[in-house]
Amino acid sequence: MSDGFWDNVSGDAGDAYIKTMADVLPNNTMALATVVKCLNASFNGSDYINVEWLLSDGEFKGQHVFQKLHVYDANPDRAIKARNMLKLMFVQGNVKPADSKPPTDTVLAGLVGMAAGIRLQEWSMQLENGNQGHGNFVSEVHPVAGFVCETGKYRDFKPVAPKYAGVESALTRNPRGGVSVELDDDIPF
């Protein structure tokens, strides 16, 4: 038996190339996935639980998807919905918190390795910097038994004009109010 550096190495393109991943997955994609990381996180002063899923079957196998559970949100409706999702995941993953306190990273680590069927939704919105943002979020988590993978369809988002906060011009002082401007008109000079 050999354990050399080049054992099991073919040098073929199919064995060497990394599969191209999609930036955004189609809306309503149903895929089998496994939790690879689950931790408390914070961004811009907002605390949440970050769940990293690895798709294990379907058209996008190998893609990583992130789920933010806003269990600490100031909006009670949003926090309760996120806590219900977390509890559903705890039940499916046979994770039992030791007490009624928010889960620690040690407790959340009990979800790592849990397999589930997930539904991905597609979102699009104008970001604070004025750019259009696109992405996915996990909207449902199902038991693996009987789950069927299905590729969804991309949503047709209408582009939103960027905000130019603080930039003053004739157009910001005098909005056109629905008047269309034809940019392909011939200019007679």
Q: pLDDT tens track of the chain, all 189 residues?
A: 466 777 777 877 766 665 555 678 888 899 999 999 999 999 989 999 999 999 999 888 999 999 999 999 999 999 999 999 999 999 999 999 888 999 999 999 999 999 999 999 988 888 888 888 888 889 999 999 999 998 888 877 666 555 555 566 665 566 555 555 454 555 554
Residue 55 lies in a domain: yes
User: To which residue do tokens 């046979």 refer?
Assistant: 94
Residue 188 lies in a domain: no
Contact 60, 25 (CB under 8 A): yes
Residue 69 lies in a domain: yes
Residue 149 lies in a domain: yes
Total of domains in the chain: 1
pTM assigned to the model: 0.71
Q: How far is 49 from 108, CA to CA, in rounded Å?
A: 9
Look at residue 169 in the predicted model and tell me its pLDDT: 62
* Domain with 74 in it: 22-153+160-173
The arrangement of strands across the sheet holding 132-142 comes to 64-69, 46-55, 29-43, 115-126, 132-142
> How many angstroms separate the Cα of 68 from the Cα of each of 17, 29, 98, 127, 135?
31, 18, 23, 17, 12
Q: How far is 35 from 145, CA to CA, in rounded Å?
A: 17
CATH number where 42 lies: 2.40.50
Look at residue 126 in the predicted model and tell me its pLDDT: 83
Residue 105 lies in a domain: yes
Q: Pull the structure tokens for residue 95.
A: 């994770």
> How many angstroms separate the Cα of 98 from the Cα of each of 34, 45, 84, 133?
24, 27, 17, 39
